[in-house]
Amino acid sequence: MKSGESADLLLGIDVGTYSSKGVLTDLSGTVLRSKMIPHGVSLPRPGFVEQDADNIWWRDVVQIIQALIEGEDAARIAGVSLSAIGPCLLALDEHGVPLRPGILYGVDTRAHAQTTALEDELGEATVFAHSRMAFTSQAIGPKIRWLRENEPEVWAKVRTLTTASSYLCYRLSGQWVINHHEASHFMPLYDPQTLTWSDRFAGAVLGDKDLSVLPRLGWSDELAGFVSFRAAVETGLREGTPVAVGAVDALSEALSVGVVNPGDLMIMYGSTTFFILVEAAPVPDPRVWTVNGAYDGQFNLAAGMATSGSLTRWFADELARDLPEEDAYDQLFAAADGVPPGANGVLLLPYFSGERTPINDPKARGVMAGLSLSTTRDDLFRATLEGVGYGIRHNIETFRNLGAQVERIVAVGGGAKTTTWLQIVTDICGVVQEVPALTIGASYGDAFLAGLAAGKLKREDLQTWVRPGRIIKPNTSNQAVYERNFELFKRMYTQTRDLVHQLS
């Protein structure tokens, strides 16, 4: 059963690292309702970052759907699409029940030994040629092997290996399907040349299991299935409502602000900073990730830092406990705005959870230099914001150094709401950043994907969904200090790396 002509509303839901958000829109992209639910992560050991698939991911989705459609005729919902943090690893038994908490994306660095072992066994060059990217903490293959080697009692019960967005699609539709973008990170089990799962290296990763443990593949805007009877009972949706394949959160966020043309770069200021650069053709490089886009035939050059918003959260929780919780961030950002560029001589490496691109160093850690007895908390917070800014510039320069074209930069995410931080990054990078009028986040892009999957929208309709907003231009008077400090930033990492590795 499919939605009829009267179905004129779309549901988009995104499960993020620290919160989940959903929107109800009409077919023109007007947001009618929104709902947000905060949640946390589990850090059982250094380098381990996990979340509960049912008590966080699915629970949030159910509560958000119920809140968004309350009082509405469920028959009006034309389609639903879900996105989530990723790529994550979730192991399930033969009944589709999670066997353990989900292992998160690149911020979880537990599989360093397995990464090294796979590189030695398969050959780094061979893996790169096959997967179009090198192993990093973002790769799922080493984490699968970690699970097999370290939790054999769990591994023996595994029937399905999937990721967060795919699991949520299953809970809603009963269909096991994963989008090609996230499947790219299940390296070396995915072949980007043929767009299929590959058994070429399956033995080294899966051991006694085969490719049947992986979901079928689909594009983010395709129809995955329809809301099942069970999900309809749990959520209040109408059984038979179309469900899109969905996406990783960053890809939906890029879509939500119109980052769909070659040369468009999205910078997502979230708990981590994530980059998606749209390309007409893949440009593989081991420092970043070459992956599929949301649509068939679209390519992305993706990158991600390990800490950004999570670092400002740490700062507020640990170094600003005296500030009222309701406006601690406002006070910190306001004070940082009064500190001159260069943070009065303080320089920070923001690698508090290791670092993903472009250094791909899970053993990296935060370093703060230049402290004196006159250093204030305001200086430290300004240095924190600038440290993230230098990391962003490092990624943008990496894109350009490998020949990728960056024509337009669009800023999104919670951090993009803060002009202070945006201006710091703009000045450090020497680039113009656009901030659309509507930056709701990935859930808005999900609503658009729901419309595509349900046949209610066409791709070109995105032009009317995205409305122009602010333009942040560089302040050239700050260029000299930031040019000098960026070079010091890179040198500080290389010169402290061995020492920090021993400490970590």
Q: Could you read off the pLDDT of 53-103 as tens digits, one per residue? A: 999 999 999 999 999 999 999 999 999 999 999 999 999 999 999 999 999
**What is the average pLDDT across 124-129?**
96
Q: Could you read off the pLDDT of 240-289 as tens digits, one per residue? A: 999 999 999 989 999 999 999 999 999 999 888 999 999 989 989 999 99
Rounded to whole angstroms, how far apart are CA atoms 426 and 57?
34
Burial of 390 (0-12, 13-18, 19+ CB in 10 A): buried
Kindly give, in sequence order, each residue whose CB lies less than 8 Å from that of residue 95, ignoring residues fewer than 6 positions away: none
* 369 DSSP 8-state letter: E
Burial of 476 (0-12, 13-18, 19+ CB in 10 A): exposed
Three-class SS of residue 228? Answer: coil
DSSP string spanning 27-79? TT--EEEEEEEE---B--STT--EE-IIIIIIHHHHHHHHHHHTTS-GGGEEE
Rounded to whole angstroms, how far apart are CA atoms 144 and 211?
12
Rounded to whole angstroms, how far apart are CA atoms 378 and 376?
5
Three-class SS of residue 249? Answer: helix
- Of the pLDDT bands very low, low, confident and very high (cuts 50, 70, 90), residue 439 is confident
Q: Could you read off the pLDDT of 3-16 as tens digits, one per residue? A: 456 899 999 999 99
Residues pairing with 33 in the sheet? 24
**Model pTM score:** 0.86
Is the pLDDT score of 475 beyond 50? yes
Rounded to whole angstroms, how far apart are CA atoms 217 and 347?
44
H helix or E strand, kind and range, residue 241? none
pLDDT for 128: 95
Rounded to whole angstroms, how far apart are CA atoms 299 and 301?
7
**What is the average pLDDT across 434-449?**
93
Rounded to whole angstroms, how far apart are CA atoms 405 and 413?
23
- Of the pLDDT bands very low, low, confident and very high (cuts 50, 70, 90), residue 438 is confident
pLDDT for 5: 65
The pair of three-digit structure tokens given for residue 344, joined into one six-digit string: 């009065």
Rounded to whole angstroms, how far apart are CA atoms 204 and 287?
23
Q: Could you read off the pLDDT of 380-398 as tens digits, one per residue? A: 999 999 999 999 999 999 9
Q: Could you read off the pLDDT of 319-378 as tens digits, one per residue? A: 999 999 999 999 999 999 999 999 999 999 999 999 999 999 989 999 999 999 999 999
Burial of 66 (0-12, 13-18, 19+ CB in 10 A): middle
Please report, as a single letter, which amino acid is at residue 147: L
Kindly give, in sequence order, each residue whose CB lies less than 8 Å from that of residue 131, ignoring residues fewer than 6 positions away: 184, 187, 188, 190, 192
- Mean pLDDT of the chain, nearest integer: 95
Q: Could you read off the pLDDT of 398-428 as tens digits, one per residue? A: 999 999 999 999 999 888 888 999 999 999 9
pLDDT for 2: 47
